[in-house]
Amino acid sequence: MYDGKKLTNEVGAPIPDNENSITAGPRGPVVMQDVWLLEKMAHFNREVIPERRMHAKGWGAYGNLKVTGDISKYTKAKVLQPGTKTDLFIRFSTVAGERGAADAERDIRGVAVKFYTEEGNWDLVGNNTPTFFIRDVHNFSDLNRAVKRDPRTGMRSAQNNWDFWTLLPESFHQRTIVMSDRGIPASFRNMHFFGEHTFSFYNDKNERVWCKFHFLTQQGIKNLTNQEASEVCGRDRESHGRDLFESIERGDYPRWTMYVQIMTEEQAKNHYENPFDITKIWRHKEFPLIEVGVLELNRNPENYFAEVEQSAFTPAHVVPGIGFSPDRFLQGRLFAYGDAQRYRLGVNHNHIPVNRAKCEVNEYHRDGAMRVDGNYGRMPAYSPNSEGYWSPQPDAAEPPLDLEGAMYRFDPKDDPSDDNFRAGGELYRLMTEDKRKLLIENTAADIASVTDNVKYRHAVHCYLADKEYGERITKAMGLDLERVKELSKLDNNGLIEATLNP
């Protein structure tokens, strides 16, 4: 396809030789005058851009969402109206590993989807778990420092990881998921993914409901054991990327069925748990899954850097009919992504083709590094202006949201309804014996190098969630069950006090 492209310099002048430097004599030194050589070296030195602070290793694909169900009574979003088909770009990632990390590691998987809707881009930036480790933005940078490299050794540290996790009991459910068989998916195609947070929908009448997004794999769930994963990593660090790429190349297009859960504002007020706490789930029996449509991936990117590395997603990008929620963790994310991308890619990153909306964009920003379109030419740069440019669109306003309570640093643990072990215990009891066995073995292997005080904290959390879970993990970690039982009588502060480093 590219045959016949003749080499030029960066501004189109022909290059006569791309292999032999200009030297002073056949065996002499290189001269400054070889400007093409200088250009090549200088460009090369600047080819690496910062990697994403987390979710650095990832793979992308294009596809579409076809809406087969009817949720129009909840949302006016055009992308979710019956029969609509919308193009999308997706990026799958691991979280802790750097850009060169192996795919088949025990970790959660990020799944970010950019829907190019006719009302602007809608980004759903989720993971393959329905819940998360933490629930306050304050803990986010610490979570990443704990799971990434230790400042002294430059190595990943199970001690840091488990120390941090077990000091935050709200991470228990997610810890159980990551240590379960689902902690290492066999491929991106063989896992579900979720928006995790509570978002909102509002309809034509400006009536709001709360919602959660679920995408269930049509390929079936498949996972790797630790042993299988270490064999895969030894053979192929790009196993998940390769699987995705090759399946799309051979026309075996992966699909997920999209569902939503709906909670009314009234139900939310009376719910027995905080419905805006990301570490809590909405139980399917109480809030059934409503089918929305099918997400299919059917085209590979042409260029990894241009399309995958330069893609930029943010939960702040929603479209009319879809809104945020009071989830304090989501609120923090609304700032973090754009800020990271202004640093990682530059202030005009939304002009990069993979990020660019397919509909008309009139944000009237000006200038900035790498502004490569017409920069809005002679149109006014300020608003309001007497020419009527850049007039707002009041129809797109979200319905008002009543708030209550004082402004304060509320600790969710002070809320009597806050039970951090219930969902993890329910999950354990749902597991078949072979899954429970794997959970215990995986945890014992992962935590093996960690000090006993931290192991006790985890054992106590397991015991509080389910006695059998606690007893089995205690035995597998070689701890004293009587001490676990004693420690489980303490409140969270007491447990922390009793398990600080000796």
Residues that bind ligand HEM (CB under 6 A): 52-55, 58, 91, 93, 110-112, 125-127, 132, 137, 140, 196, 311-313, 329, 332-333, 336-337, 340-341, 344
Question: Which of residues 229 and 308 has its CB atom nearest to ligand HEM in the complex?
Answer: 308
- Pair of tokens at residue 459: 């054992």
Three-state secondary structure call for residue 425: helix
Question: Which of residues 278 and 477 has its CB atom nearest to ligand HEM in the complex?
Answer: 278
Residue 13: exposed, middle, or buried by beta-carbon count in 10 A (0-12, 13-18, 19+)? exposed
Integer Cα distance of 332 and 337 in angstroms:
9
Structural contact between residues 173 and 424, judged by C-beta atoms closer than 8 angstroms: yes
Sign of the alpha-carbon torsion through 418, 314, 210, 131: negative
Radius of gyration for the chain, computed over Cα atoms and rounded to the nearest angstrom: 26
Q: In the bound complex, what is the minimum distance in angstroms from residue 195's beta carbon to ligand HEM?
A: 7
- For residue 233, how many C-alpha atoms fall within 13 Å in the half-sphere facing its CB? 17
CA distances to 168, 216, 274 from 282, rounded to whole Å, are: 21, 16, 10
Q: In the bound complex, what is the minimum distance in angstroms from residue 60's beta carbon to ligand HEM?
A: 8
Three-state secondary structure call for residue 149: strand
| Residue of 82, 473, 91, 254 lying closest to 488 (CA atoms) | 473
Structural contact between residues 208 and 169, judged by C-beta atoms closer than 8 angstroms: no
Q: In the bound complex, what is the minimum distance in angstroms from residue 130's beta carbon to ligand HEM?
A: 9
Would you please indicate which residues are annotated as catalytic (active-site) residues?
Answer: 55, 127
Structural contact between residues 154 and 160, judged by C-beta atoms closer than 8 angstroms: no
Three-state secondary structure call for residue 61: strand
Integer Cα distance of 477 and 212 in angstroms:
36
Question: Which of residues 123 and 466 has its CB atom nearest to ligand HEM in the complex?
Answer: 123
Which residue is associated with the tokens 């989720």? 126
| Residue of 204, 209, 118, 208 lying closest to 395 (CA atoms) | 204
Structural contact between residues 444 and 476, judged by C-beta atoms closer than 8 angstroms: yes
Q: In the bound complex, what is the minimum distance in angstroms from residue 345's beta carbon to ligand HEM?
A: 8
Sign of the alpha-carbon torsion through 414, 418, 424, 425: positive
Plot region of 68 (φ>0 → left; ψ -120 to 50 → alpha; else → beta): alpha
Nearest-CB residue for ligand HEM: 110
Question: Which of residues 310 and 474 has its CB atom nearest to ligand HEM in the complex?
Answer: 310
Question: Which of residues 213 and 287 has its CB atom nearest to ligand HEM in the complex?
Answer: 213
Q: In the bound complex, what is the minimum distance in angstroms from residue 463's beta carbon to ligand HEM?
A: 27
Question: Which of residues 329 and 456 has its CB atom nearest to ligand HEM in the complex?
Answer: 329
Question: Which of residues 101 and 340 has its CB atom nearest to ligand HEM in the complex?
Answer: 340
Q: In the bound complex, what is the minimum distance in angstroms from residue 256's beta carbon to ligand HEM?
A: 15
